[in-house]
Each structure stands twice: as C-alpha cells, then as structure tokens.
Amino acid sequence: MFEKVCFIGLGLIGASLAQAMRDKKLAKSIVAVSRSQSTIDKGINYGLLDAGFDDAALAVQGADLVVIATPVQAVKKIFEQIKPIITDKTIIMDVGSTKGNIIADASAVFGEDMPKGFVPAHPIAGAEKSGIDARNAKLFDNHKIILTPLDTTSKQAVKKVIALWEQTGAEVVTMPADYHDKVLARTSHLPHLLAYNLVAQLAKHNDNMDIFRFAAGGFRDFTRIAASDPTMWHDIFYANKTALLDAIDEFSEQLSQLKTIIETNDSERMLGVLTQAQAARQHFG
C-alpha cells in the first residue's frame, strides 16, 4: 500500500498503527522520528521499524505517508520542519484529538501551498496508557476514525487514508472539523476534564482522610481516564478551548439544576432526570 511510512511520534497511537501496518504488510519500509533514543531502539527491537531518526526533515525524505502522532500542540513545529521536504504526492496524516487547531496550524505554516495530501484524522480509539509499550495492533478494530479533509485535500489521498484505516478494522467517517470539535468536546474532552477534576479535588482531602481507600468500582470506572497522559490532555483542552468552554457551561447549568432539585426535594424531577439518563446510557451500550 505504501513504499515508505514515516511516523513522527511513536507512542500509543503511532506505535499501534505502525504495528497494524507491519502485521498486515501495508508498507515496504517503516521509519520513525522520536526525541527518545530508547523509543527508537525499542521500535527496532520489536520489529516495528526499519530505521529511526531524531531529525524529522531527514526521516521524511522519500516517504509517501507521514503520520504525525504527537500531542496536538507539537504539530505546528512538525509542519514547519517537514515543509521543505514534502511533495504534492506525500500524504500527511495527523491523528490528533482536535482538528480545528491543527488545520489552523497547517494554514499558518503552508499558507497558499497547503499540501494536497494533508488528511486530518482522529481515531476514536485509545487508552489511558501511553508510549510504545502500550501499543496494540487491534486498537482500531471496530472503532471509528473521523477524517476532516480540507477543500484542498485530493480525493486520491482521502481514498488511500480510508483504505489504510479499513485495513486496521476501523470504520471511517468524514465530517467538517468544527463539527468534530463540538461533538468531541462533549463526548471526550469534557468527560476527561471532569474525571481529572474529581480526582484532583478528592486528592486534596487525601492527606488527612485517606479517602481513596474507601473508593470502589464506581469511582474506578468514572475516573479511569484521569490516569491518561497530562501533556496530551493539557494540549487538547487548550486546542479545543472554545467548544470545551461551551460544553463546561452546559454541564455547569445542568449540575446547578440538579443541585436545586436536591435542595427543593423535587424527587419527581430527580427521578425523571435519572431515568432519562439511564435510558440514554443503555442505548449507547
């Protein structure tokens, strides 16, 4: 499918895709750029990589697919580094959890010369684990991948990216970037913020109350995602600031309504809210 694939960032998402591509023989050669030599060494020892680099411009030479899999606020600098090397035939795909800011960064770097092969993507699959050792070739199996192609993106590049993800077992959906950011602010970014917030709030009590000793399955389920990588989520919260602030406002409004329902002993309304939520959650599966 590809002659040479260059991964920039070889953590959970990058290494999982690299592993899936290796297993399914989707690329003749796979190389990666990493800031850490130990990640490169592991990539080679695990049979994922043919070569590793610390310099993006060098690594991208001759690649027909470049996968950018770093935290979202690192992507702009990578666009700057690869700009002199890529051609109109290079497919450039990021896998960032936010899309509007990455497209804005691409516009700022490439201007009128936006690469026709730029295909922004977001796998709706992941884990609270990070790094190459957390990789899982089946991570994308039966999961959705959202693409937010630009008007300038070539149909051929989109077709190739769709075929790649389908080979990993994923289902590909295409939508505008601003719609993606509004939806994901509510289904992913807000829940992560709430989980981090709850754990941070409770951790303040922990010194004198040892509160986590008495936390059970519900707490574990609700807060699992607060074990995710802080840099990654720091970047996402700022990169999708506008949509996330709207989602926080909606949440605060609903929370204060629930507070009033409790204060006023409005048990009928409380049961109504809980029943509606239960039905929606059961529908989700």
6, 11, 164, 244: residue in contact with ligand NAD (rule CB under 6 A) = 11
Spell out the residues 6+ positions from residue 19 whose beta carbon is closer than 8 angstroms to its own. Answer: 46, 48, 135, 136, 137
Pattern of binders to ligand NAD over 99-128, x per CB under 6 A? -----------------------xx--xx-
Query: In degrees to the nearest 10, what's the CA dihedral of 181, 233, 239, 58?
Result: -110
CA 129 – CA 256 distance, rounded (Å): 33
35 lines the binding site for ligand NAD (CB under 6 A): yes
Query: Among residues 70 and 148, whose Cβ is nearest to ligand NAD?
Result: 70
Q: Which stretch binds ligand NAD (CB under 6 A): 45-53, 63-71, 214-222, 260-268?
A: 63-71
9 lines the binding site for ligand NAD (CB under 6 A): yes
Render the burial of 130-160: b for 16+ CB within 10 Å, e for the rest.
Answer: bebebbebebbeebebbbbbbeebbeebbeb
Query: Among residues 187 and 264, whose Cβ is nearest to ligand NAD?
Result: 187
Can you tell me which residue has the tokens 């991570």? 139
Query: Among residues 229 and 266, whose Cβ is nearest to ligand NAD?
Result: 229
Query: Among residues 22 and 122, whose Cβ is nearest to ligand NAD?
Result: 122
SS3 state of residue 33: strand
Q: What single-letter amino acid sits at 79?
A: F
CA 144 – CA 140 distance, rounded (Å): 8
Helix and strand numbers (H, E) in the chain are: 12, 8
Pattern of binders to ligand NAD over 126-165, x per CB under 6 A? xx--xx----------------------------------
Query: Among residues 52 and 117, whose Cβ is nearest to ligand NAD?
Result: 52
Query: Among residues 13 and 27, whose Cβ is nearest to ligand NAD?
Result: 13
- Which positions touch ligand NAD (CB under 6 A)? 9-14, 34-36, 39, 69-72, 74, 95-97, 122-123, 126-127, 130-131, 229, 232, 236
